[in-house]
A and B are shown apart, each in its own frame.
Chain A
Amino acid sequence: MAACQPVIKFADVGQRFVGADGKRIDALDGLSFEIGRHEFVAVLGPSGCGKSTLLRLIAGLIRATSGSVEIFGMPVTEPRDEIGIVFQKPTLLPWFNVLGNVTFPMRHKHGYVGDGERERAHKLLELVGLDGSATRRPEELSGGMQQRVAIARALLLDPDILLMDEPFSALDALTRDEMSFELLRIWTERPKTVLFITHSIPEALLLADRVIVMTGRPGRVREVLDVPLARPRSMKTLSEPTFHELANHIRGRLFSRPVAA
């Protein structure tokens, strides 16, 4: 599945913190994997397995204590332009309207917002299904709509890589499923290399080409799993036998004792 040159490459990456009590905490240990161009990869694991640390390593927000993280064959030493991030919470700026929030990366990075960006922002709002909401305030929007704005914001500077840190976990179950299909549609229209962090097995299977299953502290790769479900995926995908087999398989990998199917 990976193209000739991987977009993201982890080689034996370890990450250590010194905890508040002075003890060493291993967040990640011996992490190795590659992600190809325009691949959709989900990282699945229990809470506290270092999934978010992994995302922050790629974003260049923190540096690995050992091993190497490379993007397009170059080691990550600082944040780079090729990356857009969507966080768990929408974290919109309450003093800007929707349009202001989407164009914020431009304003923040370069100090101005040109007509070009504003036009791009309007197109992105259309893409995420929010055309006509440009002048609304963030507080008027539902959680799902706010996260749509956050996705549009992450896409403004047209990054090659989209990092998503449990973006739908704060949403209610119905909105969450809806947003998953929305994300697939957006990804089809704007192909990106996506790294999607989640702790939901159905969400990972529904979205991803491959699922990286991680174990708890220290975070290690338990298994990298291909998801051979046909695209475009839909409601029907959820009831395919392969879907259930994969879900059960992952459950088996995550928990040492067997789980009743």
Chain B
Amino acid sequence: MNSPITSAAVSSVAPSPHEAAHPTPPRKQIVKLSVDERLPVLLDRFAPAAAFIVLILVWEGAVRFFAIPSFLLPAPSAIAQAMVSVPLQVWLGHIWATLRVALMGYLLAIAISVPLAVALASSRLLSRTLYPILIVVQSTPIVAIAPIIIVTLGASDLPRVVITFLIAFFPIVVSTVTGLLSTPDELVELSRSLRAGRAREILHVRLPFALPHLFSALKISSTLAVIGAVVAEFVAAERGLGFFIAFSTSFFKIPNAFAGLVVLVAISLVLFRLVGLAQSFLAPWSLPKSGR
């Protein structure tokens, strides 16, 4: 139990010094580092790139040393050659086809998942009814039903967008629901005590609180959307990077297929980065402090 005289009380009108302001940061001391000390710093900065380069070199060396034929495993140099040999016009055509499907499916997934998540988070009945269905859909191997979807919906962008959507939507729904439900009880009570209404409670309090979760899911789904588009193109397409890879493989132009793969990875990385940039632009507070 507390003693009547708790710790010495500080009676002051202004905030006391310990909560007043940030202490001025100590000046960075410029100290010359010896070689031994600089090595870890350099390692930290250049290790990722160095590891990547070493990996490429080992790959190149292994292919040359063991004389692996290019239709089994092309050397990085062969892949680079293949990449240059395909005209830019052709690349852009394929990239655009894949990117368009991926983005349409991705945007469709966002447009459907976020309202769906709001519905699931607001109604116990809905979440009990719909969650099992969603999990069944998620558990169905999309790759297996992709041919069926293409047959059902015909040969156009529509089935590809649907396949992309099916692959990309689930993480967004689950994460957004988690985010919506992680809103502190006190804020929900504050909202209720103001009688602001359910719509404002969701818009002003719950959805912003779900943003960190939503953005994590958007990052995952951005790469899933590219996968979805490629899967759809494997099944039926006349252009796109998935088609290009399948086509190149069937003609044993394995370096070309690898080149297509490299472009796909690049697209995924760019999309992932763009979502990250959007987050730091739209909701910088939702990033961990070190990531700002």
Q: Which residues of A contact B (CB under 8 A)?
A: 56, 59-61, 78-79, 83, 85, 87-89, 91, 93-95, 104-105, 107-109, 111, 129-130, 137, 139-145, 148, 173-178, 180-182, 185, 200-203, 234-235, 238-239, 243-244, 247-248, 251, 259
Q: Tell me, yes or no, whether B26 is within 8 Å of chain A by CB.
A: no
| Chain A residues, CB < 8 A from B211 | 95
Contact of B193 among A79, A238, A251 (CB under 8 A): A79
| Cα–Cα, bound, A259→B8 (Å) | 23
| Cα–Cα, bound, A59→B189 (Å) | 9
Nearest CB in chain B to that of A90: its residue: B186
Q: Tell me, yes or no, whether B55 is within 8 Å of chain A by CB.
A: no
Q: How many residues of B contact A (CB 8 A)?
A: 39
- Which 4 pairs show the lowest CB-CB distances between chains A and B? A177-B9, A142-B19, A87-B186, A173-B7
Nearest CB in chain B to that of A177: its residue: B9
| Chain A residues, CB < 8 A from B205 | 93, 108
Stretch of B100-108, B149-157, B194-202, B247-255 at the chain-chain interface: B194-202
| Residues A83 and B193 in contact in the complex (CB < 8 Å), given A111-B200, A144-B19, A235-B11 | yes
| Cα–Cα, bound, A238→B14 (Å) | 21
Instruction: Contact check, B193 vs A174: say whether CB atoms are below 8 A apart.
Output: no
Q: Tell me, yes or no, whether B34 is within 8 Å of chain A by CB.
A: no
Q: Tell me, yes or no, whether B285 is within 8 Å of chain A by CB.
A: yes
| Cα–Cα, bound, A235→B194 (Å) | 36
CB distance from A246 to the nearest CB of B (A): 9
Nearest CB in chain B to that of A163: its residue: B193
Q: Tell me, yes or no, whether B76 is within 8 Å of chain A by CB.
A: no
| Cα–Cα, bound, A4→B285 (Å) | 50
**Those of B174-220 within 8 Å (CB) of chain A:** 184, 186-187, 189-196, 200, 204-205, 208, 211
B2, B22, B194, B285 interface centre (most CB from chain A within 10 Å): B194
Nearest CB in chain B to that of A111: its residue: B200
Q: Tell me, yes or no, whether B12 is within 8 Å of chain A by CB.
A: yes
1/0 per residue, CB under 8 A from A, across B1-42: the answer is: 111111111111111101100100000000000000000000
Contact of B9 among A87, A107, A238 (CB under 8 A): A238
Q: Tell me, yes or no, whether B278 is within 8 Å of chain A by CB.
A: no
Instruction: Contact check, B13 vs A185: say whether CB atoms are below 8 A apart.
Output: yes
A-B contact pairs, 10 of them (CB 8 A): A79-B193, A79-B194, A87-B186, A95-B283, A129-B14, A129-B15, A145-B19, A185-B13, A200-B2, A239-B5
Instruction: Contact check, B192 vs A79: say whether CB atoms are below 8 A apart.
Output: yes
| Residues A244 and B4 in contact in the complex (CB < 8 Å), given A85-B189, A144-B15 | yes
1/0 per residue, CB under 8 A from A, across B36-72: the answer is: 0000000000000000000000000000000000000
| Cα–Cα, bound, A73→B15 (Å) | 39
Beyond contacts A60-B193, A108-B194, A235-B9: 17 other A-B pairs, Cβ-Cβ < 8 A, are A59-B193, A61-B193, A78-B195, A79-B192, A89-B184, A94-B285, A95-B283, A108-B204, A108-B205, A111-B200, A129-B15, A130-B15, A144-B15, A148-B15, A174-B7, A202-B2, A238-B6
| Cα–Cα, bound, A142→B208 (Å) | 23
| Chain B residues, CB < 8 A from A56 | 189
| Cα–Cα, bound, A173→B191 (Å) | 30
CB distance from B93 to the nearest CB of A (A): 42
| Cα–Cα, bound, A259→B289 (Å) | 48
| Chain A residues, CB < 8 A from B10 | 174, 177-178
| Cα–Cα, bound, A56→B3 (Å) | 30
